[in-house]
């Protein structure tokens, strides 16, 4: 039996959402490790890959024990050649683990945003749901895949992929963040057609994360994990 996927959830309000739907659609095993519970760090070598989700802390706050622990886990995964998919904070933490700077963004990106992408087979142009005040610098040796005027949006280094947006998020999840921050007017809305398009784009990105280079654009087969 193949190894399960490890999902690192950092706050209760940021669940795996569409990522879990994608994994379920392919009958792939996964474990959701809720980092705020303070359990011992998992060994990334026991998993097919590691997915790091959003957080209410910054990846540059290494003095925060939870952030330091996530950086350590991602460094261990990279050292062991275990693929890492970083989403928003997770992308920033992956960048930091790879030696890049994470900083405050000049302009927050909240709600739906189109991106400029160099490879839509891996990162479709969106629109994507975003909710971030920080941004990453592209790590040494990594290729930038997408960007907006305010922040890099995606990079890839070997098997590792970091993105600044939230492919896993639904409008309900992001609306919860807007309400918690006292800015309900920023809560996104979407038609059924827009929801379906966002779900398809997310599944494209998740497929591409797993697919070998010559397989990008083809449906992901569970046996490839």
**Does the model's pTM come out above 0.85?**
yes
Active-site residue flag, 49: no
168 is catalytic: yes
pLDDT confidence band for 125 (50 / 70 / 90): very high
What is the pLDDT, as a whole number, of residue 222? 37
Where do the domains of the chain lie, and which CATH numbers do they carry? 5-224 (3.40.50.880)
pLDDT in tens, 130-160: 999 999 999 999 999 999 999 999 999 999 9
**Average pLDDT for 47-51:** 96
Check if 132 is active-site.
Answer: no
Q: What is the mean pLDDT of the chain?
A: 93
Block residue for tokens 């087979």: 121
Residue 212: its pLDDT value, please? 52
Which of 10, 70, 88, 160 is catalytic? The answer is 88
Q: Which of 70, 109, 130, 168 is catalytic?
A: 168
pLDDT digits (tens, 9 = 90+) for 58-99: 999 999 999 999 999 999 999 999 999 999 999 999 999 999
């Amino acid at each position: 039996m193949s190894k399960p996927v490890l999902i690192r959830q950092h706050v209760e309000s940021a669940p795996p959402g569409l990522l879990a739907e994608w994994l379920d659609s392919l009958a792939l095993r996964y474990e959701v490790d809720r980092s705020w519970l303070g359990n011992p760090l998992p060994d990334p070598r026991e998993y097919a890959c590691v997915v790091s989700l959003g957080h209410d802390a910054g990846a540059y706050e290494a003095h925060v024990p939870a952030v330091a622990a996530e950086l350590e886990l991602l460094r261990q995964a990279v050292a062991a050649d275990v693929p890492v998919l970083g989403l928003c904070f997770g992308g920033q933490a992956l960048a930091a683990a790879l030696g890049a700077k994470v900083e405050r963004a000049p302009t927050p990106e909240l709600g739906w945003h189109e991106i400029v992408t160099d490879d839509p087979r891996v990162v479709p142009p969106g629109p994507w749901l975003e909710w971030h005040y920080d941004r990453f610098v592209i790590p040494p040796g990594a290729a930038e895949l997408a960007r907006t005027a305010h922040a890099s949006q995606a990079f890839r280094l070997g098997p590792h992929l970091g993105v600044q947006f939230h492919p896993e998020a639904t409008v309900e999840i992001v609306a919860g963040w807007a309400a918690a921050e006292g800015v309900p007017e920023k809560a996104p809305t979407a038609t059924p057609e827009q929801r379906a398009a966002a779900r398809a784009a997310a599944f494209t990105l998740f497929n591409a994360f797993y697919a070998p280079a010559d397989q990008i654009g083809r449906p992901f087969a569970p046996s490839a994990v």
